[in-house]
């Protein structure tokens, strides 16, 4: 049930074209997608990307070809994949994370790069300025790390006795250290302590949650990270098993049974990336395209999960919720 109208107008227009019209044409520009995750975990993201390209007149296999390189959650593979696609002389590179963006930038100073990231791209060296990115790189930022104060506040409202909050992070993400620092700083406002636990592969989740339980963490916040985002079922199941009220960055988690999320829309960001990719295919230079900030923020709560945990959402949270799952 929606509390406020939320438009997620994403359509896959390529399927509507007749097969003959979609036949690949010689000299067709190539868009290369450098992904930190796997293809299987990225379906919604790719639909949004194709919709953005479509708005600028580009339809896959009709007048543009999209090629993919997937790191499958192994961030150390990204530099080699970036070099591989640069050797292919693609027209534009689209990247899915700060790690992928940095790998592409290091691999080429000529081919345009459009990134999608949840961190400050200036701080991490992707661009020199949001308004004037210069060079061959521009993109979209959701600035998810700026949301920690509000996320912790919501957690405090639903779990006021939780003095120690766990923060599940991926230490292989270049933004991990900065995110940990931001969360600990934000926790001073709610007078909470933060316990950081790490998971960069499937085998580390059980250990991370065991540490949370042994240290008596009363709630959990999950980092915005491509690998962690690709494991909503695993994380939600462990949080439920250990009765931990958890705040997530994206609605995919409460949809999977998590308690609540507060963050930006991934699909909205990737829609904007597709639009920028299309503009570059039409001749725009990255330096002339300011970094876009995806500011659409949504609060999603799951009443069924709250009931299982013995939690009653305050009316103030329910009134603010963009989506309530019953």
* 209: its two tokens: 């949650």
pLDDT of residue 146: 82
> With 80 as the cut, is the pLDDT of residue 202 above it?
yes
Pick the CATH number of 145-264+298-325 from 3.40.50.970, 3.40.50.720, 3.40.50.2300, 3.40.50.1370: 3.40.50.2300
- Considering the four listed CATH numbers 3.40.50.2300, 3.50.30.60, 2.40.10.10, 1.10.510.10, the one that applies to the domain covering 13-143+265-297 is 3.40.50.2300
Report in angstroms the alpha-carbon separations of 323 from 297, 305, 314, 320. Answer: 12, 14, 15, 9
**pLDDT over 70 (residue 127):** yes
Section 95-110 average pLDDT: 95
Domain boundaries, the chain: 13-143+265-297, 145-264+298-325
Residue 190 banded pLDDT, cuts 50, 70, 90 = confident
- Which pLDDT score, from 0 to 100, does residue 198 have? 98
Is residue 98 over pLDDT 90?
yes
Spatial CA neighbour of 8 closest among 279, 296, 301: 296
Question: What are the tens digits of pLDDT across the range 267-321?
Answer: 888 999 999 999 999 999 999 999 998 777 899 999 999 999 999 999 999 999 9
How much is the pLDDT for 9? 39
89 or 20, greater pLDDT: 89
Q: How far apart are CA 80 and CA 314, in angstroms?
A: 49
Q: Is the pLDDT of residue 151 over 70?
A: yes
Contacts of 93 (CB under 8 A, 6+ apart): 31, 32, 33, 34, 82, 85, 86, 104, 108, 111, 112, 113, 114
Q: What is the pLDDT of residue 266?
A: 84
Share of the chain above pLDDT 70, in %: 92
Residue 26 — very low, low, confident or very high, per pLDDT cuts 50/70/90? low
Phi-psi region of 291 (alpha: psi -120 to 50; beta: other; left: phi over 0): beta
Band of the pLDDT at 10, cuts 50, 70, 90? very low
CB-based contacts of 26, cutoff 8 Å, min separation 6: none
**Predicted pLDDT of residue 18:** 33
As a whole number, mean pLDDT of residues 83-104 equals 93
Contact criterion met (CB below 8 Å) for 88 and 311: no
pLDDT score at 295: 75
Cα 191 from Cα 312, distance rounded (Å): 22
Q: Do the domains 145-264+298-325 and 13-143+265-297 match in fold?
A: yes
Tell me the average pLDDT of the chain. Answer: 90
The CA distance from 155 to 149, in Å, is: 10
> What's the pLDDT score for residue 50?
96
Query: Which of 237-268 are b and which e, b meaning 16 or more Cβ less than 10 Å from the residue's Cβ?
Result: bbbbeeebbbbbbbbbbbebbbbbbbbbbbbb
d(C-alpha 235, C-alpha 245), whole Å: 12
């Amino acid at each position: 049930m929606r509390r406020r109208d939320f438009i997620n107008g994403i359509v896959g227009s390529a399927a509507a074209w007749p097969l003959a019209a979609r036949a690949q044409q010689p000299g067709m520009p190539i868009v290369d997608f450098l992904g930190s995750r796997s293809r299987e975990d990225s379906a919604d993201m790719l639909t949004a990307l194709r919709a953005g390209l479509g708005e600028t007149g580009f339809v896959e296999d009709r007048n543009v070809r999209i090629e993919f390189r997937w790191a499958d959650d192994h961030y150390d593979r990204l530099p080699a994949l970036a070099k591989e696609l640069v050797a292919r002389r693609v027209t534009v590179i689209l990247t899915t994370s700060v790690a992928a963006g940095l790998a592409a930038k290091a691999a080429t100073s000529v081919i345009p790069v459009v990134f999608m990231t949840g961190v400050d791209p200036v701080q991490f060296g992707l661009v020199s300025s949001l308004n004037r990115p210069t060079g061959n790189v521009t993109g979209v930022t959701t600035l998810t790390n700026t949301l920690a104060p509000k996320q912790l506040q919501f957690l405090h409202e639903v779990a006021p006795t939780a003095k120690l909050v766990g923060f599940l992070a991926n230490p292989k993400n270049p933004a991990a250290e900065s995110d940990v620092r931001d969360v600990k700083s934000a926790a001073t406002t709610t007078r909470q302590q933060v316990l950081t636990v790490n998971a960069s592969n499937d085998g580390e989740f059980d250990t991370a949650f065991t540490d949370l339980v042994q240290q008596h963490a009363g709630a959990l916040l999950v980092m915005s990270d491509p690998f962690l985002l690709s494991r909503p079922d695993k994380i939600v199941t462990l949080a439920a098993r250990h009765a931990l009220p958890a705040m997530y960055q994206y609605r995919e988690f409460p949809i999977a049974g998590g308690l609540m999320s507060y963050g930006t829309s991934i699909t909205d960001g990737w829609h904007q990336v597709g639009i920028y990719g299309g503009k570059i295919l039409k001749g725009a230079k990255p330096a002339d395209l300011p970094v876009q900030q995806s500011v659409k923020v949504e609060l999603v709560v799951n009443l069924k999960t709250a009931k299982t945990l013995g939690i009653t959402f305050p009316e103030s949270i329910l009134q603010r919720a963009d989506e309530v799952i019953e």
